[in-house]
């Protein structure tokens, strides 16, 4: 199914990945409705920073993914739903796990229930590599066991299974995209790469981090965005879970040292106890097997390997180094 001529709803359009995805679709000439979280400031999140041509082309719906009536209203008249709205911060899930059940699991239920009732042609539900927990084998395929090592990952496992259950039980046209660690411009400082960059850019010589030995498979946001489009347009992904990652493994410590080198700074990595996950909750290793994405959709990462990772980091550093951008972050505070 091609997206041309289809009306597309993006939930979580005000967030990091969602805003990049929304802009990509609008620039491609698509008809997009952006679902943003209602707030009294009339803020559209990161979409407020989009160029006027993008904002003028958007149909913005302010609501709450937890409200089934608002979700159904937002989905009326839409052919495709790209569902990104979620709570994603792992440390905050230790603090307020109930909100993760409401937002991630019940919010997804609202999406697929409305999709079933309205006859939506395609739903792409967003998963996360965190559902795998610490890798039992690498690279991680879609057959890897699911391990809820944090309330966040447990809620996403539940959300994934709700989405897939509607496909199996009712034939709802659902597919599940499972991005590994996405990074890039605009990402929240609750994520490790912006945490490092903002501290270094603010002049810190000691960079405070949690554990530095775990490894991750970092995926540039533009590759993740292309993954959403590829999933939506591939009939072969219906009822399937598909990994999207760079197939390149690097530790947090190596990432921090690489960022410091690219920024021309010498830094010391300092362990900050409040940033450490509980021992049994830390995901020690993530490394994506992306063969299924290649086979089913033709997607491949444009920021692959060390060279691609360095290029993506340079672009991310350049964005954060703009004073007006950096000023939006509180580099001296721990953002859970």
- In the chain, domain spans: 7-184+220-247+286-303
Give the CA-trace dihedral at 222, 299, 144, 248, to 10 degrees: -60
Report the pLDDT averaged over residues 278-305.
Answer: 97
- Give the residue among 283, 8, 216, 279 at the shortest CA–CA distance from 122: 8
Residue 149 C-beta-side C-alpha neighbours within 13 Å = 20
Assigned token pair, 294: 């290649």
Compute the distance between CA of residue 6 and CA of residue 21 in angstroms, rounded to an integer. Answer: 15
Place of tokens 């979580």: 12
pLDDT at 37 over 90: yes
Residue 228 pLDDT level (bands cut at 50, 70, 90): very high
Please report the pLDDT score of residue 84 as a whole number.
99
Please report the pLDDT score of residue 69 as a whole number.
98
Q: Are 107 and 86 in contact (CB under 8 A)?
A: yes
Q: Are 33 and 7 in contact (CB under 8 A)?
A: yes
Pairing, β 250-251 against β 215-216: antiparallel
Query: What's the farthest any 2 CA atoms get from each other in the chain?
Result: 57
- DSSP secondary-structure letter at 102? I
Q: Are 271 and 282 in contact (CB under 8 A)?
A: no
Instruction: Tell me the CA distances in angstroms from 198 to 62, 306, 321, one per residue in order.
Output: 30, 22, 8
Give per-residue pLDDT as tens, 149-173.
999 999 999 999 999 999 999 999 9
Instruction: Tell me the CA distances in angstroms from 257 to 37, 275, 329, one per residue in order.
Output: 36, 18, 21
Mean of per-residue pLDDT scores for the chain:
97
- DSSP secondary-structure letter at 146? P
Please report the pLDDT score of residue 184 as a whole number.
98
Q: Is 327 exposed, middle or buried (0-12, 13-18, 19+ CB in 10 A)?
A: exposed
Please report the pLDDT score of residue 56 as a whole number.
97
Place of tokens 């009822």: 239
Report DSSP letters for 156-206, one per residue: HHHHHHHHHHHHHHH---EEEEEE-EEE-TT--TTSHHHHHHHHHHTT-SE
- Give the residue among 89, 86, 284 at the shortest CA–CA distance from 194: 89
Give per-residue pLDDT as tens, 234-245.
999 999 999 999
The pTM assigned to this predicted structure is 0.98
Residue 335 pLDDT level (bands cut at 50, 70, 90): confident
> Which contiguous run of DSSP H or E holds residue 123?
strand 122-126
Q: Are 233 and 269 in contact (CB under 8 A)?
A: no
Dihedrals phi, psi of 185, to nearest 5 degrees: -55, 140
Compute the distance between CA of residue 263 and CA of residue 247 in angstroms, rounded to an integer. Answer: 25
pLDDT at 336 over 90: no
Q: Are 244 and 221 in contact (CB under 8 A)?
A: no
Compute the distance between CA of residue 118 and CA of residue 221 in angstroms, rounded to an integer. Answer: 31
Residue 332 pLDDT level (bands cut at 50, 70, 90): confident
Please report the pLDDT score of residue 127 as a whole number.
98
Assigned token pair, 171: 């034939």
Give per-residue pLDDT as tens, 247-260.
999 999 999 999 99
Domain 7-184+220-247+286-303 of CATH type 2.10.109.10: no
The CA angle 132-311-268, to the nearest 5 degrees, is 75
- Give the residue among 290, 284, 213, 286 at the shortest CA–CA distance from 247: 290
Compute the distance between CA of residue 331 and CA of residue 163 in angstroms, rounded to an integer. Answer: 37
């Amino acid at each position: 199914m091609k997206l041309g001529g289809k009306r597309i709803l993006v939930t979580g359009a005000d967030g990091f990945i969602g805003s990049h995805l929304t802009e990509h679709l609008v620039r491609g000439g698509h008809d997009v409705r952006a679902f943003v979280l209602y707030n009294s400031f009339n803020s559209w999140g990161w979409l407020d920073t989009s160029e006027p041509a993008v904002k003028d082309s958007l149909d913005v719906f302010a609501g709450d993914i937890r409200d089934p009536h608002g979700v159904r209203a937002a989905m009326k008249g839409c052919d495709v739903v790209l569902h990104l709205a979620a709570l994603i911060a792992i440390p905050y899930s230790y603090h307020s796990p109930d909100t993760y059940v409401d937002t991630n699991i019940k919010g997804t239920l609202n999406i697929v229930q409305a999709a079933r009732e309205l006859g939506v042609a395609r739903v792409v539900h967003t998963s996360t590599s965190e559902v795998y927990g610490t890798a039992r084998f690498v690279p991680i395929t879609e057959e890897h066991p699911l391990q809820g090592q944090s309330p966040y990952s447990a809620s996403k496992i539940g959300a994934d299974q709700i989405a897939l259950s509607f496909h199996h039980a009712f034939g709802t046209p659902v597919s599940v995209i499972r991005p590994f660690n996405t990074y890039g411009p605009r990402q929240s400082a609750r994520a490790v790469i912006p945490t490092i960059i903002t501290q270094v850019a603010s002049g810190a010589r000691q960079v405070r981090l949690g554990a530095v030995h775990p490894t991750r498979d970092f995926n540039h946001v533009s590759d993740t965005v292309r993954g959403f489009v590829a999933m939506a347009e591939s009939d072969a992904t219906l009822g399937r879970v598909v990994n999207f990652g760079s197939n390149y493994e690097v530790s947090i410590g190596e990432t921090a040292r690489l960022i410091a080198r690219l920024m021309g700074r010498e830094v010391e990595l300092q362990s900050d106890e409040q940033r450490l996950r509980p021992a049994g909750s830390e995901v020690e290793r993530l490394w994506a097997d992306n063969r299924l994405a290649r086979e089913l959709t033709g997607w491949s990462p444009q920021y692959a390997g060390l060279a691609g990772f360095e290029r993506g980091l340079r672009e991310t550093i350049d964005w954060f180094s703009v004073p007006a951008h950096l000023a939006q972050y509180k580099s001296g505070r721990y953002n859970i």
